[in-house]
Amino acid sequence: MAGGMAIQGSTKDYGGNITMFVFVTCLVAATGGLIFGYDLGISGGVTSMDVFLKKFFPSVISMIVGGVVFLIGSAVNGAAVNVAMLIIGRILLGIGVGYANQSVPVYLSEMAPAKLRGALLMGFQLATTIGILPFFLPDTPNSLLERGHQEKGKVMLQKIRGSQQVEDEFQDLADASNAAKKIEHPWRNILQPQYRPQLTMAILIPFFQQLTGINVIMFYAPVLFKTLGFGDDASLMSAVITGLVNMFAAFVSMSTVDKLGRRVLFLQGGIQMLICQILVGVVLAMKFGVEGVGSMSKSSSYLVLILICAYVAAFAWSWGPLGWLVPSEIFPLEIRSAGQAISVSVNMFFTFIIAQAFLAMLCYMKFGLFFFFGGFVFIMTLFIFFFLPETKNVPIEEMNSVWKKHWFWGKYIPDDDVSGAGQRHSSSKVSNC
């Protein structure tokens, strides 16, 4: 049976409600994405300014996405008087982005109840498109248990679930924590066969996320629109429009991810992005041809703008937020931090590669660049259809039962380990589909 046909079995329902405490803490944590969004948004506008290009890059644009101390990086960039300072500042900004991207999705996935985990974690993507700085974040129950604070962990769980009846969930968390403490080498253990499904997703999902071509649009939207004939001011305004589309589309994913599921959004978004990329490529081919010579009428330019907005919207309610959500919720506790670190590293590495290669690819491939990224969108949509099971409403501690029932990944999961690697065993065995 294909991955798209795998049937999700029964999972535990711990109950609990969405409390104001959970809402506020998840909202604050999600704002860690603001520095990521600000970094993306500010880069594209600045790099289209003639004064910037003449001063720093008289012949070619080279965007470096780096590092952790975002505030210092901002200060260095703001005071930049030469190329060296600009590069150092960009590296520091990237470090800050990478740090937040590693910890925030994991924090949200641990704090949120299973039925609302998708929507609450989508707040990270939403915040990426808007922006503020986290200032208050309580420890998650998982974190408290890992550090030996049993009572504090139980009190925190009761607080975030809005109920005193949390014994079952707390016991599962405690069992998972005890099992995790027995794992001495998470980076070595993550390579074991039983973690093969999660590791594959942690690598390929962020890889494919960057190969959608989204950062080409977000980094270079003003430059791209200027090239298409929108003019200096109009190109920047067009980039603002795509940014607004990106932000509002994030609300769509937040309201649907825990109802429709991850797979539906992945597949629908992939199909919509593929169609838009093909149409943009066709329009550009007709107007500019292989030689890249020609001009676009206003109607054609606006058509391209509409198609790009539709593409950005599809990404913003599918591969954008889900690229952070799914890797953060699929790993068992004992290797969760290592898994999320791998996912973020892959994401940032290919962000860097695409940013460096884009202009050269645009010069040589021209309109073919959209077909190039479209080809990857087609491949990754097939990958999701066949290999990603549905994970909505599944408690993190029981995620292995989902992989066990999958037609392909089930062979990697031990029969006595369907409630999470080394965690509490289920009383009933789950068969393969």
Q: Is the pLDDT of residue 146 over 90?
A: no
The confidence score (pLDDT) of residue 180 equals 67
Q: Is the pLDDT of residue 105 over 80?
A: no
> Between 428 and 207, whose confidence is greater?
207
The confidence score (pLDDT) of residue 311 equals 93
The confidence score (pLDDT) of residue 264 equals 95
Query: Does residue 164 lie within any of the structural domains?
Result: no
Query: Does residue 433 lie within any of the structural domains?
Result: no
Domain boundary among 139, 154, 176: 139
- Using 50, 70 and 90 to split pLDDT, how confident is the model at 336? confident
Query: Does residue 145 lie within any of the structural domains?
Result: no
Q: How far is residue 388's CA from residue 422's CA, in Å, rounded to a whole number?
A: 22
For residues 251 and 386, state if they share a domain. Answer: yes
Q: How many residues in total does the chain contain? A: 433
Q: How far is residue 118's CA from residue 124's CA, in Å, rounded to a whole number?
A: 10
Domain boundary among 123, 139, 155: 139
Q: Is the pLDDT of residue 6 over 60?
A: no
For residues 51 and 200, state if they share a domain. Answer: no
Q: How far is residue 117's CA from residue 145's CA, in Å, rounded to a whole number?
A: 20
Query: Does residue 112 lie within any of the structural domains?
Result: yes
Query: Does residue 15 lie within any of the structural domains?
Result: no
SS3 at position 361:
helix
Give the model confidence (pLDDT) of 23-75 as tens digits: 666 665 655 555 555 555 545 544 545 554 455 444 446 333 333 455 566 66
Q: Is the pLDDT of residue 109 over 90?
A: no
For residues 222 and 310, state if they share a domain. Answer: yes
Percent of the chain with pLDDT over 70: 60
Give the model confidence (pLDDT) of 119-144 as tens digits: 666 666 665 555 433 644 567 787 78
Look up the domain containing 80 and give its range.
20-139
Question: 69 exposed, middle or buried (CB, 10 Å; 0-12, 13-18, 19+)?
Answer: middle
> pTM surpassing 0.85?
no
Average pLDDT over residues 6-12: 50
How far is the CA of 378 from the CAs of 255, 271, 382, 385, in angstroms? 26, 8, 6, 11
Report the phi/psi class of residue 328: left, alpha or beta, with left for phi > 0 and alpha for psi in -120 to 50. alpha
